[in-house]
Amino acid sequence: MKLTPRDRKLVVAATRARKHCYAPYSRFGVGAALELEGGTIVTGVNVENCSYGLTVCAERNALTTAVGKGLLPGKFTALAVVTEADAVVSPCGACRQVLAEFGAPDTRVVMHNLKSGETQLTTLGALLPHSFTPLSLPR
């Protein structure tokens, strides 16, 4: 896959959002940007807590913000995640599961590293194959 202008726009939005992360313990700042159907972009940052287990990732913060703006399952089209680590970073397992509830398997995921300038592209389906979805529940 190749970066599209929309992917680049998402990376810029995630990079801008990342400046507002709250990561005093790990110093691992993350910015995320979701593209909703229609082109609206919603951002999120990681928010740590002194009770470490209460930390919430940037991806889930972006998603919950989008849900608060009316996002319905299947209605986000792309995600960008931006970090400044030693390598490109992908969403954690918890975020992959939460994202899979609202995105399709072919939803684009753009992972950008500010330190190296490297960008990798993948999809939600590649990050979480055989995911547990609402269809997995008994009816």
Which residues form the catalytic set?
Answer: 59
Q: Interface with Zn ion by CB under 5 A: which range of 25-33, 55-63, 65-73, 114-122?
A: 55-63
Q: How many residues bind Zn ion (CB under 5 A)?
A: 3
Min CB(106)–Zn ion separation in Å = 21
- The binder of Zn ion chosen from 14, 21, 42, 57 (CB under 5 A): 57
If you search the block for the tokens 């959002």, which residue do you land on? 17
Residue sitting closest to Zn ion (CB):
57
Instruction: State yes or no: residue 85 binds Zn ion (CB under 5 A).
Output: no
Closest CA to 35 of 3, 2, 71: 71
Q: Contacts with Zn ion in 87-116 (CB under 5 A)?
A: 92, 95
